[in-house]
Structure 1
Amino acid sequence: MIFSDWTQELLVLETKLVSLLQPRSYYIENFLHSVSVVSDPNNAIFYVYPCIAALCTPRSSLPFELMLIGSLLSWSSIHVKWAFRGDRPFWWVKEVIQSYPNLPALRQTHNTCVANPGNPSSHVMVHAGVLLVLVNSMLSTWRNSSAKNSKFTLHPWYSWMWKWGCWGFYTALILIVMLSRIYNSTHFPHQCIFGAIFGGYLATKIHANWNSEWREKQKSWKVCVFTLMPVIIAIGTYWIQKAFDIDPQRSVRLAFKWCFSPYDISVNTTPVYYLTCSCGCLFGLGVVLLLQRQAVAFFFRGLKSSKEPYFHSLFANNSWLFYLTNGVGVLLSACLLFKLQSQIPTDSVTIFYLHHFALNFAAPFLYFAFVPIMLKLMTKKIKIKED
């Protein structure tokens, strides 16, 4: 009882803080609205990951790892949300207004009516984790290149500026995402802080334990288990809650109850939708790993003997034209998937979710398997004809 009273008082203080962070400025509101849309983890698969994959060479495992971490964080966030069952400011204020009549009224924008639990913030959690790994990878790559090429080693002052510039940029981005979520009354401040800490911690653990070297050593049947387990756990978690009379769609009901306009509630913010997208992406990443092994066996006439990752052994020693064509192919694939997303029928809930599962499965399949492997096959045929 004491703990419950303490948490309620904390939410009262945070509600007042949220109201202070909601100035009625057209330019600020539009900017923070854009930040919330761009930082949506479900949209990252159409522009963040393909852009990174296009900028990196196919032999780099970084884009694959970032998509893996982002999908696992998105998948984990929904299970943590179900465990904590955290309220969102816009409906919590309406629920407790009788007990706290002096609470300030919170503004509702087009991004306010999110239909999943509030703790932790998925936007902050996913971006904190993915950007942390990206910044660490950039700094590690720069250190390695400086060590190999002593003539390009920078002065310690520039080295310090580069390091803290990257971390400053990272911190600024996370704070802007947090501010956008608080401004739109979708999260309390502690939910954003918890999301940033938890996302960074999980991403570090995944990066350390599930890196490319670890994935290389796993047998094919273990990869298949890894591919299927997120789907099985997600379905099991949903129905276990139903069996114990816990409503997994409680947040959807509260969103429809307290949102001013039901048209602002999108199915893309429901827990089931998040799980469908993340499970589809994880399933696709598992299939990519299996396809890469088969591709190595095909191109090298047997299992590879080198200790290089599959990405590196498959796509090493290619021309700049190959890498450029691969980047264009990845970006065109992302545009195609984005176009197909708007064509998904909404008449049937089952068909709707199956289409989104397939779409998120197709993304890693196209980015990391179909486009680069088909290009590799085409270049091999061209070389055979030239010989």
Structure 2
Amino acid sequence: MEPPPQPSAMDALHEAGIRAAVALQAGPPWLEQFWLFLSSQLDPNSIYTVCFPLARGLDEHVSLMVLWIALAAEWLNVVLKWFLFGERPYWWMHESGLSEREQLPLRQFPITCETGPGSPSGHCMILGAALWPIVTALSKAASRYSRSRLLRLIPFLLYVLLLVAMGLSRVFVLAHFPHQVISGSLAGMALGWGLQRRPPNFLRVRFFLLTALGLLLSALALHGLGTAAGLDLDWSLRRASARCSEPAWLRPETRPWASLCRVSGSALGLALAARHPPSRRELQGLEPPLGSATLGLLALDVLHKLPKSDGTALWYLNVGARYALGPVLVGSLLPQLILSVRRLRANP
């Protein structure tokens, strides 16, 4: 009788990740609610709909950098997931036979069943990249009020703690293995640091139009080349459908193509917003800017809660249109609307 095959190093890494998820899910109930809240409320979509408009309360340039870095990070994350073929815990434990060899006290949640490949973690990578300009802006602001090095480091310490908590939450809900959240966090930090050093000119309409087209066409080309080379880049959709405990938890917004529509739409929105930007002299009239930021937050919340079309093609087109409208609302239409109202009040 032949001995059973020895598990590979990757299998051992995956099994260690499953043990970590078991330990996390065995924690107190209040901690469970914290993990679920963090993983559901700080998903990649929140960068576009929450962090971007709120960052305008800090600085206009910072908010545009948040959006620009987020869309670059999300595009890269989709491409890496296609070609790294990362597993997800909620299906790997069944596909590997681990769940048959022993009883695992693990549960799935409505946010568990993401349909794209698992490596690297998009939550950690996109959040880590997009929050970098906010953290550096807060650190610089602290240095203007105090020479204390500790005060300047506090934003970075909170940033690291947030990424650690996000990584634990993704392991908890069985969406990622620990090595995937670590690689995603490190990639996000590096990307945020690198892109912030070379910011684009946000008034160049042609640049962002070409970016929107380039991001979508390059993704289509890479997917087509991978498929022509014999790679099955849609394998994760079948795994997710087979292993998700509730079919209703398979959300279309977790598909890679939904991410690419979000990215291309946001780049197009930056181009449209750059056509009619309010001048810096006019923006000074919006001080304090929190009112404009709050109005933008509410407008985006209403925009993204509108019902979407049922057909697949129309659904993706609808997603792209909403994310294209977001930068226009926050960066151009709402500030100009507030300025117009104030002019009318000043000169009835």
Given the two structures, how large is their TM-score scaled by the length of structure 2? 0.88
Q: 1:72-111 alignment to 2 at 5 Å? A: 72-97=72-97, 101=101, 104=104, 106-111=106-111
Q: Which has the larger radius of gyration?
A: 1
Aligned pair partner of 2:182 in 184, 193, 198 = 193
Cα distance in 2 for partners of 1:116, 1:317 equals 43
Instruction: Report the CA distance between 1:82 and its aligned residue.
Output: 0.5
Does residue 1:160 correspond to 2:126, yes or no? no
Give the equivalent residue in structure 1 for 2:211.
Answer: 226
CA distance in 2, matches of 1:199, 1:337: 28
Kindly provide the amino acid, as one letter, of the partner of residue 39 in structure 1. L
Q: What does residue 338 of structure 1 align with?
A: 304
- Aligned partners of 1:12 and 1:103 also within 8 Å: no
3-state SS, counterpart of residue 192 of structure 2: helix
| 1:66-103 deviation digits (Å, cap 9, x = unpaired) | 01111211121111110101001111111111799358
Which of residues 217, 241, 265 in structure 2 aligns to 1:280? 265
Following TM superposition, by how much is the alpha carbon of 1:255 offset from its aligned partner in structure 2, in angstroms?
Answer: 0.6
Q: CA deviation at 1:46?
A: 2.3
Are the aligned partners of 1:93 and 1:103 in contact in 2 as well (CA < 8 Å)? no
Percent sequence identity over aligned pairs: 22
Report the aligned-residue RMSD: 2.7
Question: Match for 1:361: what amino acid?
Answer: A
Map of 1:56 onto structure 2? 58
Alpha-carbon offset, residue 330 of structure 1? 1.8
Q: Which residues of 2 match residues 183-332 of structure 1 at below 5 A?
A: 183-209=172-198, 211=199, 214-215=200-201, 220-292=205-277, 312=280, 315-318=282-285, 320=287, 323=289, 326-332=292-298
Flag structure 1 segments of 5+ consecutive residues without an equivalent.
147-152, 296-310
Structure 1 260/367 Cα, relative in aligned 2: closer, same or farther at 3 Å?
A: same
State the shift of 1:61 in Å: 0.9
Contact residue 255 and residue 265 of structure 1 kept, 8 A: yes
Q: Select which of 370, 379, 384 maps to 2:333.
A: 370
Report how far residue 20 of structure 1 moved: 2.0
Alignment correspondent of 2:50: 47
> What one-letter code is carried by the residue in structure 2 that aligns with 1:364?
P
> Structure 1 residues 103 and 223, CA, compared in 2 at 3 Å: closer, same or farther?
same
Q: Identify the residue that residue 131 of structure 1 maps to in structure 2.
A: 131
Partner Cα separation in structure 2 for residue 327 and residue 106 of structure 1? 41
Provide the aligned length of Structure 1 versus Structure 2.
342
Residue aligning to 1:299: none
Kindly tell me: are residues 374 and 26 of structure 1, through their superposed partners in 2, closer, same or farther at Cα, counting changes over 3 Å? same
Is 2:129 aligned against 1:179? no
CA gap 1:222/1:259 in 2 versus in 1, 3 angstroms = closer
Q: Would the aligned equivalents of 2:55 and 2:293 in 1 still touch at CA under 8 Å?
A: no
1:150 equivalent in structure 2: none
Give the CA deviation at 1:22. Answer: 1.8
Partner residue in 1 for 2:4: none
2:152 partner amino acid: K
Unaligned runs of at least 5 residues, structure 2: 1-6
Deviation at 1:344, TM superposition (A): 1.2
Contact between 1:227 and 1:287, CA under 8 Å: does it hold in 2? no
Q: 1:352 aligns with which of 315, 336, 345?
A: 315
Question: Structure 1 residues 105, 244: closer, same or farther in 2, change over 3 A?
Answer: farther
Aligned mates of 2:294, 2:109 — CA distance in 1: 37
CA shift at 1:39, angstroms? Answer: 1.2
SS at match of 1:137: helix
Secondary structure at the aligned position of 1:21 is classed as: helix
Change (3 A) 1:357 1:223: closer
Distance 1:18 1:231, change over 3 A: same
